[in-house]
Structure 1
Amino acid sequence: MNHEQSRDLYDRALSVMPGGVNSSVRAIQPYPFFVQKGDGGHVVDADGNRYVDFVMGYGPLLLGHDLPEQVQAAIQQRASEGPMYGAPTEVEVELAEFVTRHVPGVEMVRFVNSGTEATVSAVRLARGYTGRDKIVVMQGGYHGAQESTLVEGHGEHTHPSSPGIPESFAEHTLTVPFNDTEAVERVFEEHGEDIAAVLTEPILGNYGIVHPVEGYHEQLRQLCDEHGSLLIFDEVITGFRVGGLQCAQGKFGIDPDITTFGKIVGGGFPVGAIGGKSEIIEQFTPAGEVFQSGTFSGHPVTMAAGLETLRYAAENDVYDHVNELGERMRSGIADILEDQAPQYTVVGTDSMFKVIFTREGEFGEGHCEAGCTQNPTCPRYEHCPKNGMDVKQAETERWERLFWPAMKEQGVFLTPNQFESQFLSAAHTDTDIETALEAYKDAL
């Protein structure tokens, strides 16, 4: 493939943007390709190279790059009526009604502008509602670029994971490994009266794709209830992708107190949201005293895009289609791994998928055929990743420096490291799956 235009654009970008990018995950070595346009389930770069796109904007593009007519028309109408107003609009009420009607744990919702803003606001809300300061998070979980969760360490022995964050923020953040029941019990035994909330993704989605072991979320729910803490589900990634319109909390049958959203709920435009029980969400100003506000919150174009995307998904069996593609992809990759790399692990669910370059394991009778579900009877159970550290110990360098470039050269665009998920959309086809599986055969 020729990448001359992308190289020239990157050279220009280095002069005016730190690292030549506006999000660190785009800093692909030796330089990223620059996208010119999207086309269904594909992207075309500045040099005219065409790729099957399984990044899908890191998850927001449930319908792909070519939006259905009703979605496109709604976006264009709102944009033509004026960019924004600094006043409420009907469409934000309609989207809030749709979300509260379908997501089990959401009775009321506040829209913001990003997943990071949603989790920042959710943490502030939990602290304001409970009058407590400490937050429990999962090691390897990701909740945006916010000070309370950019921490490293174990238990109460934490420190900021980035310069620029005061140590005092980390003092109030307790970390436990995902799926470690004993660790979370110890944290509550020692700090239960001071814990405002447990903040977790239902499935680790930014550090591999790691399912909860049986009973783990139920235990979190019970511990929060016993100690008067709140359970926050970060569904920025899983929201309206895993579990359909009920989201991951519906799939797992767990009722969180607060849920954060992003990505799909904005239909591909910048968005975030905090939903939950009315008595909690009403603590936000102006109904309550926990301050939260934003100039662009509830932006009419974003609200229209999100509403029509979700309506289209509900009316056109989108989830059946994308989930079937996801199962085919994961099953096909598992067949390839069984023959070529039996130590590697296929992970994912619904329309998410990934291969983790684990160092041990084997296939056998009764293995998870379409992605690891933490099934204790699976012959791979002892070796499949249970938390973020397990994923980190996989062959991350091999994935990034050998596998990813090999897939790109075959016209398959994946998230560029071992950690972030791949996503399918309604625009992907059977041919796209076949193309990708052939590329996996060659690259692995």
Structure 2
Amino acid sequence: MNRDTSRELYDRALDVLVGGVNSSVRAAPQPYPTFVRKGDAGHVVDADGNKYVDWVMGLGPLLLGHDAPERVTSSVQRRTSEGPMYGMPTEVEVELAEFVTRHVPSVEMLRFVNSGTEATVSAVRLARGYTGRSKVVVMEGGYHGAQESTLVEGDAEHARPSSAGIPQSFAEHTIPVPFNDRAAASEVFEEHGDDIAAVLVEPVMANKGIVEPQDGYHDHLRGLTREHGSLLVFDEVITGFRVGGLACAQGKFDVTPDLTTFGKIVGGGFPVGALGGRTEVMEHLTPVGDVFQAGTFSGHPVTMAAGLQTLTYAAEKDVYDHVNALGDDLRDGLRDIVDDKGLPYSVVGTDSLFKVVFTRDGEPPENTADVGKAAVDRWNRVFRPQMQERGIMLAQNQFESQFVSDAHTQADVDATLDAYDDVL
């Protein structure tokens, strides 16, 4: 497979973009990333004209695939032709907010922002402002965007920043605990309960290999936060409007958080974030309350139009039936391949998320530490490049999720399973 143009573009990019990319994960593929020219339904075409079945799907936002339905594209084009943005309110942002509040159990009010990171930054600030407390509990190895309060590593007793440029004083207010460990969560509340503003958790850990919650785990967090007067914050930037359909993962697991953060699908493929929750909590944001939050591009009319039409289309068509059925076919087929070959790998995922984690003992990961113990370099440096040579584009590394879209077909699934069978 000829990839000369991608190599040449990366060489040029190294002179003008830090690391040759605008988001660090894009530099992960070795020896250089693939530059994409265009999308086509459930595929992408690279700068050299090679076509791949695409399971990256923009890292999640493209529920409908690369070719949006006419109602989506026409709405985006109309909004753009009327002027891209105004710095003033528009009807479409109200309509999208009304849609979200109708379908997501926890959301009574919304504030649109511009990224998942901005949404989680705002959620942490709001939780601290609402409770008057400082500490935030997060899951070890979880990711909630590029923000100081959650870029931490270590454990509850030895939290430290996971990036240069963040003072240790930030980490002192963040308490990491292992996902699915009820005892660890209970212990930190016993010790710090009076100063914990919130627990921030992905309903499904989807930034490090896909780790699902054990039965009752989120109920346990819900009970602890209520008992101690803290907020439960679900980070549904990835799972929102993908896991659990229109009710999101909180609907699937029947646990209602106090706040929920969104991104990706809620903007229909355009830059977006959102923070939603109970009115009592949300009205602590300015201009009603005293927790400051604002943004020039928040509620951008083009993004709002794309998000509204994407979600309306998903509600009216059989989108979730289709993507979840293909997800089941992928996971079932992958389990058969792994079992037939006697490999100790784990097939993980739910709904339209899937992944093969190169575990060493055949046990599905219970937390992100288990994923970190897998054969990460083998997946990144040996397995993924071979899949790409066979026309299958997988996530940039072992940790990122893979996503099914409405544009994928059974033929895409079959081709992918054939490639897995060949490479594994």
Same fold (TM over 0.5): yes
- Retained in 1: the 8 A contact 2:141–2:153? no
Q: Percent identity over the alignment?
A: 71
Instruction: Give the structure 1 partner of residue 193 of structure 2.
Output: 192
Matches within 5 A, 1:16-31: 16-27=16-27, 28-31=29-32
Taking the aligned partners of 1:429 and 1:152, their CA distance within structure 2 comes to: 40
Map Cα deviations across residues 3-50 of structure 1 (whole Å, 9 max, x no partner). 111111011100000110001111021111100000000000010000
Instruction: Give the structure 1 partner of residue 357 of structure 2.
Output: 356
Taking the aligned partners of 1:443 and 1:22, their CA distance within structure 2 comes to: 31
What number of residue pairs does the alignment pair up?
Answer: 423
| Among 378, 386, 395, the residue aligned to 1:415 | 395
Matches within 5 A, 1:319-338: 319-338=320-339
Is 1:405 the counterpart of 2:385? The answer is yes
Is 1:436 the counterpart of 2:416? The answer is yes
Instruction: Give the structure 1 partner of residue 3 of structure 2.
Output: 3
The aligned amino acid for 1:432 is: D
Taking the aligned partners of 2:302 and 2:268, their CA distance within structure 1 comes to: 10
- Pairwise CA distance, 1:141: 1.0
The aligned amino acid for 2:423 is: A
- Retained in 2: the 8 A contact 1:261–1:272? yes
Matches within 5 A, 1:14-413: 14-27=14-27, 28-361=29-362, 383-413=363-393
Taking the aligned partners of 2:76 and 2:187, their CA distance within structure 1 comes to: 49
Helix, strand or coil: the match of 2:175?
strand
- Retained in 2: the 8 A contact 1:156–1:173? no
- Pairwise CA distance, 1:263: 0.1
- Retained in 2: the 8 A contact 1:151–1:158? yes
| Among 393, 396, 407, the residue aligned to 1:427 | 407
The aligned amino acid for 2:358 is: F
The aligned amino acid for 2:241 is: F
- Retained in 2: the 8 A contact 1:156–1:171? no
The aligned amino acid for 2:260 is: T
- Pairwise CA distance, 1:342: 3.1
- Pairwise CA distance, 1:65: 0.3
Helix, strand or coil: the match of 2:15?
helix
- Pairwise CA distance, 1:156: 3.4
Taking the aligned partners of 1:229 and 1:19, their CA distance within structure 2 comes to: 40
The aligned amino acid for 1:423 is: F
Taking the aligned partners of 2:342 and 2:350, their CA distance within structure 1 comes to: 21
The aligned amino acid for 2:335 is: A
Map Cα deviations across residues 50-103 of structure 1 (whole Å, 9 max, x no partner). 000000000000000001010111100000000100000000000000000000
Structure 2 alignment gaps of length 5 or more:
none
Which runs of at least 4 in structure 1 moved beyond 4 Å after TM superposition?
none
- Retained in 1: the 8 A contact 2:200–2:235? yes
Taking the aligned partners of 2:47 and 2:72, their CA distance within structure 1 comes to: 27
The aligned amino acid for 2:31 is: P
Taking the aligned partners of 1:211 and 1:35, their CA distance within structure 2 comes to: 31
- Pairwise CA distance, 1:341: 4.0
The aligned amino acid for 2:13 is: A
Taking the aligned partners of 2:17 and 2:102, their CA distance within structure 1 comes to: 42
Helix, strand or coil: the match of 1:154?
coil
Taking the aligned partners of 1:26 and 1:44, their CA distance within structure 2 comes to: 16
- TM-score with structure 2 length normalisation? 0.99
The aligned amino acid for 2:5 is: Q
Taking the aligned partners of 1:35 and 1:168, their CA distance within structure 2 comes to: 41
Map Cα deviations across residues 396-417 of structure 1 (whole Å, 9 max, x no partner). 0100011100100000001121
Taking the aligned partners of 2:125 and 2:158, their CA distance within structure 1 comes to: 22
Structure 1 alignment gaps of length 5 or more:
362-382
Helix, strand or coil: the match of 2:154?
strand
Instruction: Give the structure 2 partner of residue 376 of structure 1.
Output: none
Instruction: Give the structure 2 partner of residue 371 of structure 1.
Output: none
